[in-house]
């Protein structure tokens, strides 16, 4: 979100001093010397004692009068703060140090957004060399208060690069150099963690947003390898036109869509922080604040549920924009809205945040393995979706576009499931009647039925569950940036499933999901490796499952070895297996 205050991009709290520009310089040789010592100092750093909670704010405010700790119940949370090396002395690292020291002393963890100036996410290429020195000077000044950094802000906005287009290539070139400069400075708090800057989420807006947010994020990811970054910062918003429930759904669809982009690029093991999120109170009425209050604590609950969902890429922190008492920003400010109107967790933003903190939602990070159940391939076997005994959807537009249209085997524009045009997410759910051995899914988008490809689904999840009410497992987060007309995902190993769901967080150019066909494939009997035949590779897995007569075999990996429908895996099962062999023993 581009924030403006008195003609300057709004990025912090407190007075903006009238001092002249005081650029801190370091000797040109320092950059190279420190860069050479990074590997030597990394292993000696003390492990960071960062906030153990999901909760966060954007701008702590004036420490001398802050009541953040009352709001959090004493919990140390995350706080997004800002350093602007080329603004006046207040916004430079030396001007912010006193504030940062008090924030950290009170148990909070700072995420420091750094950029050359307001409305300039990274410097122009000709200014980069000097800026790297100034970044290092800032990191040195803040070495005992900051070790988590965000580089720039909403780079796909004209207003964040002096009215010009900052391409993903240009930003990534600068990001890599800035990250190197920061990581060359040891911090007493632990390893320097440098987050990729957040995009402005949403589609192109003439004169404002030059590139769709997910597209820009995808472009940046395509230019990065795992060793080029330490994590991501993202933004998410909800419209003040929506009530609390609809706003929660819109917000979740937004961050999950960005996670789909990140996962599709292979960064499933990188931490993600939401460094701006809100539902502004506009117009400033008691009703609107009550909806934002309910949205605030409800969204934290949704985030915690998301973080607890198998297969989900977890969110490490969520920093509400804004906390500080800043004139002109009442529609966002937790502190400024406090005591205006009724109190209570469902009426007041401050009380809502305080209530959320009593729920003890922890921070979360990827487990580290980054393994996936699925890969990009056409699944073998037969499409069993048409035999589903029940089809459910979040909604449907009219009787001609019900969920049943998506499993009738007809790929045509007049035979599709279309959701309502409400804000996503939208979902299509099937009860397959009994447990099946699934090999994967194919989703046919609007373009497959001859409609324009810009109607194709952009981001969605393939989910499975043991019951119709869940709990749902996210087997694949899918991003479709090129607008492919169909998307196929295959399991590496067959999965035993009865309930499946297509969960759409970004339908495409508008809010309507358009799905001509949702295909669910069943693995052939004894095809353990899902290669479409039964051969020696499958026999090796079958043999490992043998228990003998009347000796139950309950290992999940041996589900497909039960070929005669009893509890053991014995010679009777082998006889069935041998009859299916398509290759020699």
Q: Note the pLDDT tens digit of each residue in 456-501.
A: 998 899 999 999 999 999 999 898 877 899 999 999 888 889 999 9
Q: 540: Cβ–Cβ under 8 A, 6 or more apart, which residues?
A: none
Average the pLDDT over each of 16-30, 186-200, 215-229 and give the range with the smallest value.
16-30
pLDDT band at 553 (very low <50, low <70, confident <90, very high): confident
Distance CA 304, CA 146 (A): 26
Q: Is residue 44 part of a domain?
A: no
| CATH code at position 422 | 2.60.120.260
pLDDT tens across 500-526, in order?
999 999 898 899 999 999 999 998 777
Rounding to the nearest 10 degrees, give the CA dihedral for residues 432, 434, 435, 441: -10
What is the predicted pLDDT for the residue at 368? 63
Question: Could you give the maximum distance between any two Cα atoms of the chain, in Å?
Answer: 87
Q: Is residue 499 part of a domain?
A: yes
Element (H, E) at 194: strand 193-196
Q: 303: Cβ–Cβ under 8 A, 6 or more apart, which residues?
A: 54, 315, 318, 361
What is the predicted pLDDT for the residue at 46? 34
Residues 285 and 419 in one domain: no
Residues 345 and 446 in one domain: no
What is the predicted pLDDT for the residue at 531? 76
Give the rounded distance of the alpha carbon of 118 from its chain centre.
26
Give the rounded distance of the alpha carbon of 219 from its chain centre.
16
Cα angle 351-357-362, degrees, rounded to a multiple of 5: 160
Question: pLDDT at residue 535 above 50?
Answer: yes
- Which residue among 358, 382, 407 closes a domain? 358
Residue 501, classified by CB atoms within 10 Å of its CB into exposed (0-12), middle (13-18) or buried (19+), is buried
Residues 181 and 220 in one domain: yes
DSSP 336: H
> At 330, is the secondary structure helix, strand, or coil?
coil
Q: Is residue 292 part of a domain?
A: yes
Q: Is residue 42 part of a domain?
A: no
Residues 70 and 214 in one domain: yes
Boundaries of domain holding 544: 536-580
Residues 430 and 288 in one domain: no
- Is 251 within 8 Å of 294 (Cβ atoms)? no
Q: Is residue 58 part of a domain?
A: yes
pLDDT band at 48 (very low <50, low <70, confident <90, very high): low
Q: How does strand 417-418 pair with strand 514-515?
A: antiparallel
Question: pLDDT at residue 200 above 90?
Answer: yes
Average the pLDDT over each of 326-340, 401-415, 500-514, 548-562 and give the range with the smallest value.
548-562
DSSP 234: E
Find which of 64-73, 302-311, 393-402, 557-566 is predicted with most confidence, using mean pLDDT.
302-311
Of all residues in the chain, the percent with pLDDT exceeding 70 is 90
Residue owning tokens 């796909």: 156
Residues 100 and 176 in one domain: yes
Of all residues in the chain, the percent with pLDDT exceeding 90 is 68
- Which residue among 472, 493, 522 closes a domain? 522
pLDDT tens across 71-85, in order?
999 999 999 999 999
Q: Is residue 348 part of a domain?
A: yes
Higher pLDDT, residue 565 or 144: 144
- State if pTM tops 0.85: no
Kindly give the interhelix angle for 28-42 and 128-141, rounded to the nearest 10 degrees.
50
Residues 281 and 428 in one domain: no
Residues 347 and 425 in one domain: no
Distance CA 373, CA 392 (A): 25
Which of 465-500 are b and which e, b meaning 16 or more Cβ less than 10 Å from the residue's Cβ?
Answer: beeeeeebbbbbbbbbbebebbbbbbbebbbebbbb
Tokens at residue 283, please?
Answer: 């117009």
Q: Is residue 12 part of a domain?
A: no
For residue 476, what are the β-bridge partners?
462
| Segment 82-100 mean pLDDT | 95
> How many domains, the chain?
3
Q: 471: Cβ–Cβ under 8 A, 6 or more apart, which residues?
A: 309, 310, 465
Q: Give me the chain's average pLDDT, please.
A: 87
Q: Is residue 446 part of a domain?
A: yes
| CATH code at position 205 | 3.20.20.80
Question: pLDDT at residue 342 above 60?
Answer: yes
What is the predicted pLDDT for the residue at 326? 78
Closest to 315 in 3D by CA, of 278, 352, 277 = 277
Residues 301 and 415 in one domain: no
Higher pLDDT, residue 566 or 33: 566
What is the predicted pLDDT for the residue at 296? 98
Residues 335 and 463 in one domain: no
What is the predicted pLDDT for the residue at 384? 96
What is the predicted pLDDT for the residue at 117? 97
What is the predicted pLDDT for the residue at 559? 66
For residue 436, what are the β-bridge partners?
497
pLDDT tens across 105-123, in order?
999 999 999 999 999 999 9
Assess whether the previous peptide bond of 471 is cis (omega < 30° from 0).
yes
> CA separation (Å) from 577 to 362, 427, 559?
48, 38, 13
Residues 337 and 392 in one domain: no
Residues 546 and 432 in one domain: no
- Which residue among 358, 388, 423 closes a domain? 358
pLDDT tens across 380-420, in order?
889 999 999 999 999 877 778 899 999 999 999 999 999 99
What is the predicted pLDDT for the residue at 66? 75
| Segment 161-173 mean pLDDT | 98
């Amino acid at each position: 979100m581009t924030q403006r205050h008195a003609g300057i991009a709004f990025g912090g709290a407190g007075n903006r001093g009238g001092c002249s520009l005081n650029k801190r310089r370091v000797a040109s040789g320092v950059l190279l010397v420190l860069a050479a010592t990074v590997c030597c100092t990394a292993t000696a750093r003390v492990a960071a004692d960062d906030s153990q909670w999901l909760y966060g704010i954007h701008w702590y405010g004036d420490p001398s009068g802050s009541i953040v700790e009352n709001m959090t119940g004493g919990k140390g949370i995350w706080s997004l703060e800002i350093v602007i090396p080329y603004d006046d002395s207040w916004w430079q690292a030396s001007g912010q140090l006193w504030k940062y020291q008090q924030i950290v002393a009170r148990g909070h963890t700072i995420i420091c957004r750094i950029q050359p100036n307001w409305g300039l996410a990274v410097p122009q290429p000709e200014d980069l060399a000097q800026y790297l020195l100034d970044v290092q000077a800032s990191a040195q000044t803040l070495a005992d208060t900051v070790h988590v950094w965000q580089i720039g802000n909403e780079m796909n906005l004209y207003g964040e690069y002096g009215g010009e287009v900052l391409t993903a290539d240009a930003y990534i070139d600068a990001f890599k150099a800035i990250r190197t400069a920061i990581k060359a400075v040891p911090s007493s708090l632990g390893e320097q963690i440098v987050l990729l800057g957040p995009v402005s989420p949403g589609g192109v807006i003439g004169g404002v947003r030059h590139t769709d947010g997910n597209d820009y994020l995808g472009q940046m990811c395509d230019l990065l390898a795992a060793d080029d970054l330490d994590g991501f910062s993202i933004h998410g918003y909800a419209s003040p036109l929506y009530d609390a429930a609809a706003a929660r759904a819109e917000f979740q669809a937004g961050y999950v869509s960005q996670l789909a982009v990140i996962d599709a690029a292979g960064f499933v093991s990188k931490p993600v922080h939401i460094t701006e999120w809100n539902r502004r109170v506009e117009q400033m009425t008691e009703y609107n604040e009550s909806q934002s209050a309910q949205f605030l604590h409800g969204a934290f609950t949704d985030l915690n549920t998301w973080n607890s969902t198998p297969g989900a890429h977890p969110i490490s922190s969520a920093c509400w924009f804004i906390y500080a008492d800043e004139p002109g920003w009442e529609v966002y400010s937790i502190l400024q809205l406090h005591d205006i109107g009724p109190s209570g967790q469902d009426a007041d933003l401050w009380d809502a945040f305080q209530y959320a903190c009593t729920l003890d939602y922890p921070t979360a990070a990827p487990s580290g393995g980054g393994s996936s159940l699925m890969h990009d391939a056409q699944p073998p076997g037969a499409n069993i979706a048409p035999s589903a005994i029940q089809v459910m959807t979040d909604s449907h537009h009219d009787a001609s576009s019900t969920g049943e249209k998506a499993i009738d085997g007809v790929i045509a524009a007049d035979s599709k499931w279309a959701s309502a045009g409400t804000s996503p997410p939208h979902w299509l759910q099937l009860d397959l009647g009994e447990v099946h051995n699934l090999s994967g899914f194919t989703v046919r988008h609007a373009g497959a039925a001859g409609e324009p490809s810009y109607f194709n689904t952009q981001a969605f999840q393939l989910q499975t569950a043991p019951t119709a009410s869940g709990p749902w497992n996210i087997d694949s987060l899918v991003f479709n940036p090129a607008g492919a007309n169909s998307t196929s995902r295959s399991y590496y190993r067959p999965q035993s499933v009865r309930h499946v769901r297509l969960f759409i967080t970004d339908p495409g150019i508008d809010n309507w999901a358009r799905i001509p066909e949702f295909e669910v494939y069943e693995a052939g009997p004894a095809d353990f490796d899902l290669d479409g035949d039964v051969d020696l590779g499958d026999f090796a897995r079958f043999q490992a499952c043998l228990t003998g007569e009347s000796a139950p075999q309950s290992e999940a990996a041996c589900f497909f070895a039960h070929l005669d429908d009893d509890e053991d895996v014995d010679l009777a099962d082998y006889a069935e297996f041998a009859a299916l062999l398509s290759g020699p023993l």
